[in-house]
Amino acid sequence: MFPVLVGVLASVAIALTVASAAHTLVVPRATGVLLTRWVTAAIRVLFDLRLRWARTYPDADWVLSLFAPATLLALPLVWLSVILAGFAALYWAIGVRPWQNALLDSGSSLLTLGFHQPGGVVTGALQLIEATLGLGLLALLISFLPSLYASYSRREVLVTALECEAGTPPSATELLERLLQVKGLTLLDAYWHEWTRWFNEIEETHSSNPLLVFFRSPSPDRHWVTAAGAVLDSASLVSSTFASEDPQPSHAGLCVRAGSQALRRVGDYFHMPYDPDPRPGDPIAVTREEFDEACRRLVAAGAKLKDDRDQAWRDFAGWRVCYERVLLQFASLTTAPPAPWSADRPIDFHHLPLTRRIRTGA
> pLDDT tens digits, the chain, 362 residues: what are they?
788 999 999 999 999 999 889 888 888 776 667 888 899 999 999 998 988 888 888 899 999 999 999 999 999 999 999 999 999 999 999 988 898 999 999 999 998 887 777 778 888 899 999 999 999 998 988 889 999 999 999 999 999 999 988 988 999 999 999 888 876 666 778 889 999 999 999 999 999 999 999 999 999 999 999 999 999 999 999 999 998 755 455 789 999 999 999 999 999 999 999 999 998 889 999 999 999 999 999 999 888 899 999 999 999 999 999 999 999 999 999 999 999 999 988 665 444 444 444 433 33
What phi and psi, each to the nearest 5 degrees, are found at residue 219? -100, 135
Is 195:254 a contact under the CB 8 Å cutoff? no
Cα(232)–Cα(252) distance, integer angstroms: 9
With vertex at residue 56, the alpha carbon angle to CA 52 and CA 57, rounded to the nearest 5 degrees, is 100
Cα(284)–Cα(317) distance, integer angstroms: 7
Instruction: Give the model's pLDDT for residue 97.
Output: 84
Cα(215)–Cα(212) distance, integer angstroms: 5
Q: What are the strands, taking DSSP E only, across the chain? A: none
Residues, the chain, total? 362
How far is residue 94 from each of residues 125, 332, 361, measured CA to CA in Å? 12, 50, 61
Angle of helix 309-320 relative to helix 288-300, nearest 10 degrees?
Answer: 110
Whole-prediction pTM:
0.89
Is 325:245 a contact under the CB 8 Å cutoff? no
Is 85:9 a contact under the CB 8 Å cutoff? no
Instruction: Give the model's pLDDT for residue 180.
Output: 84
